[in-house]
Amino acid sequence: MGRDTLLTATFGSDTLLKKALLVLGGSVFIALAAQVTVPMWPVPVTLQTLAILLVGFSFGSRMALATMLAYLAQGAAGLPVFANGLNFVAFAGPTAGFLLGFVAMAWAAGLAAERGIARGWLSTALVALVLSAAIYIPGILWPMALAGGMGIEAGWVGQAFSGYYWTYFIAPFLLGDALKAVIATLVVTGAWAALKRR
């Protein structure tokens, strides 16, 4: 695979049992972060995407993907792991597209880590910011086009982008997502710096 991730640099090669425990632990970490609400302007934000970036940058693409699939499976099984304690009902709600975007975010962050791109401060920050912006694509495609095509009828389905989705789905969260990308960068680059000093 390319270069080490934080996980392999810290713990070395892993057994299947250790990998399974890390996937479970990572999914629980994301679930707990999804329940933490931080008051921000203009809207409060959860720490969900911060946790997803940290798992991706630390675990690598395959382990991050497995972690996100385990997280979604926990929600599908009825566990209250999504933001605001939601479970499988979130798959038919207005933010279902973001759940799929989170899977891609974790995998891409892991791939960037494996390729050595997410190692320095600037490159890690750029990756984190780009991925934080990219999750808006599936996040908006779901309510704009896909949900209606699947027969879901709600006030958030099929609205105008500029008047509705920009106002309620994107603009209020940009500042929080940028801040979480910077925090993820500081944690990841700080961890690499600490490993180099060992």
Distance of alpha carbon 181 from alpha carbon 187, whole angstroms: 10
Distance of alpha carbon 82 from alpha carbon 114, whole angstroms: 28
DSSP letter for 44, please: -
Per-residue pLDDT band for 65 (boundaries 50, 70, 90) equals very high
Radius of gyration of the chain measured on its C-alpha atoms? 17
Would you identify the CATH topology of the domain 6-191?
Arp2/3 complex 21 kDa subunit ARPC3 (1.10.1760)
Segment 12-34, tens digit of pLDDT: 667 888 889 999 999 999 999 99
Distance of alpha carbon 3 from alpha carbon 113, whole angstroms: 8
Per-residue pLDDT band for 195 (boundaries 50, 70, 90) equals confident
In the predicted structure, residue 179 carries a pLDDT above the cut 50: yes
In the predicted structure, residue 3 carries a pLDDT above the cut 80: no
Whether 160 contacts 114, CB under 8 Å? no
What is the identity of the amino acid at 67? T
Per-residue pLDDT band for 148 (boundaries 50, 70, 90) equals confident
Domain extents for the chain?
6-191
What's the whole-number mean pLDDT along residues 35-39? 91
Segment 154-173, tens digit of pLDDT: 888 888 888 889 998 999 99
